[in-house]
Amino acid sequence: MPEHERSLMGSIVEGRVLAVFRWGVIVDLGLSHVGLIDALYIDDGDMYVVGGVARGYLTEFNPGMEKFWIRPLGKTPIKERYGRGGQCD
């Protein structure tokens, strides 16, 4: 991953929605790889449409999937939400 992309980790990014699936949303961030908003971050009231704008925190790069992971603004990180020793509330 280029250094300028590494420096974006943790910052707010914005991009165009390329595809919406049951398992997540693919976002064109204008970077070397697309972004993914995992379905765990998508609630019933959230609206993602192809061509629309998506914003969130760039949290990590997954080399196996070749995707950047995006956490939408206002969403609790998955590790905090479900990370209590693997137990859910």
Could you report the per-residue pLDDT of 51-80, keeping only the tens digit for each?
Answer: 999 999 999 999 999 999 999 999 888 778
Query: Rounded to the nearest 5°, which phi and psi values hold at 79?
Result: -60, -35
Residue 27 lies in a domain: yes
Instruction: Identify the domain containing residue 28 by its residue range.
Output: 3-82
pLDDT tens string 25-39: 999 999 999 999 999
How many structural domains does the chain have? Answer: 1
CATH number of the domain within which 35 lies: 2.40.50.140
Residue 14 lies in a domain: yes
Residue 60 lies in a domain: yes
Tell me the whole-structure pTM to 2 decimals.
0.84
Residues 38, 40: Cα–Cα separation, whole Å: 5
Q: Are 7 and 47 in contact (CB under 8 A)?
A: no
Query: Rounded to the nearest 5°, which phi and psi values hold at 51?
Result: 95, -15
Residue 74 lies in a domain: yes
Question: Which of 57, 3, 51, 50 is closest to 35 using CA atoms?
Answer: 57
Residue 87 lies in a domain: no
Residue 89 lies in a domain: no
Terminus-to-terminus CA distance in the chain, angstroms? 36
